[in-house]
């Protein structure tokens, strides 16, 4: 399968990737056996870029990705996950409904701060059981998820500390790239503008085109998805 390079990094990803929401139970239950069979089918088809998030099944997707990838050569695939939500255990009858069927028993809190992102990465490593995450995406930091007022608060929190956390993780080699996983193109533009104004010595954002861009979706829009 053809590959594309991620921005100015050394990472190369297959043009088709595997998104992990469904194996976390999005809209309908997904058994562990079905998840493993699906991941194996993707691997045999040549997919080598796997994307997950703590939000997908409230940790379930990350656990299943880790179980599958743990025995694959680490330099044979690229793995991305996301930051912006932290999870805490709750009784079964208090698990919030975010369209995941049979998620793990947690509730979520949004946190785009420096400490929140660092904690999120630590928790993801524990769920994955892996020693390397290649790409981190800042997840759902936009009006579609939060509304206008809360988006402004979260955006300020991210620019005041969260961005610093991502830069530190990249400099330390903990991750190789980071980007945004949001539903609004304007958020991407705002982050790029603020980022350039506060860190002009950093390389410019590089677009990562996709096979089926959608004009209003930063995760999919070839003109709007960015990695650093």
Q: Radius of gyration over alpha carbons of the chain, in Å?
A: 17
Read off the pLDDT of residues 137-148 as tens digits, 9 standing for 90 and up.
999 998 889 988
The per-residue pLDDT for 177 is: 95
Catalytic residues: 51, 56, 82
The per-residue pLDDT for 11 is: 93
Q: Count up the domains in the chain and report the number.
A: 1
The per-residue pLDDT for 211 is: 34
The per-residue pLDDT for 123 is: 97
Q: What CATH number has the domain bearing residue 39?
A: 3.20.20.100
The per-residue pLDDT for 193 is: 72
pTM: 0.83
Provide the domain limits for residue 15.
3-227
Asked if 179 and 225 count as a contact pair (C-beta separation under 8 A), the reply is yes
Angle subtended at Cα 218 by Cα 8 and Cα 133, rounded to the nearest 5 degrees: 50
DSSP-based three-state secondary structure for 151: helix
Ranges of residues in the chain with a pLDDT under 70 are: 188, 192, 194-228
What is the b/e burial string over 69-98, where b = at least 16 CB atoms within 10 angstroms of the residue's CB? beeeeeeebbbbbbbbbbbeeeeeeebeee
């Amino acid at each position: 399968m053809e590959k594309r390079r991620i921005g100015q990094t050394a990472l190369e990803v297959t043009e088709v990737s595997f998104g992990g929401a469904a194996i976390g139970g999005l809209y309908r239950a997904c058994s562990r056996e079905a998840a493993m069979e699906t991941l194996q089918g993707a691997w045999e088809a040549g997919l080598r870029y796997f994307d997950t998030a703590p939000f997908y099944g409230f940790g379930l997707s990350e656990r299943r990705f880790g179980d599958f990838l743990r025995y694959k050569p680490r330099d044979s695939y690229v793995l991305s996950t996301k930051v912006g939500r932290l999870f805490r255990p709750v009784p079964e009858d208090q698990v919030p409904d975010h369209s995941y069927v049979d998620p793990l028993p947690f509730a979520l809190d949004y946190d785009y701060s420096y400490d929140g992102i660092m904690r999120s990465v630590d928790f993801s490593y524990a769920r994955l059981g892996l020693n390397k995450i290649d790409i981190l995406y800042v997840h759902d930091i936009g009006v579609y998820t939060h509304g206008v007022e809360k988006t402004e608060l979260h955006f300020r929190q991210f620019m005041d500390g969260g961005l610093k956390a991502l830069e530190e993780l990249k400099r330390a080699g903990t991750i190789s790239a980071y980007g945004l996983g949001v539903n609004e193109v304007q958020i991407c533009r705002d982050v790029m503008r603020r980022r350039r104004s506060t860190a002009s010595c950093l390389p410019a954002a590089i677009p990562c085109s996709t096979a089926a861009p959608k004009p209003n979706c930063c995760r999919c829009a070839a003109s709007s998805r960015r990695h650093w």
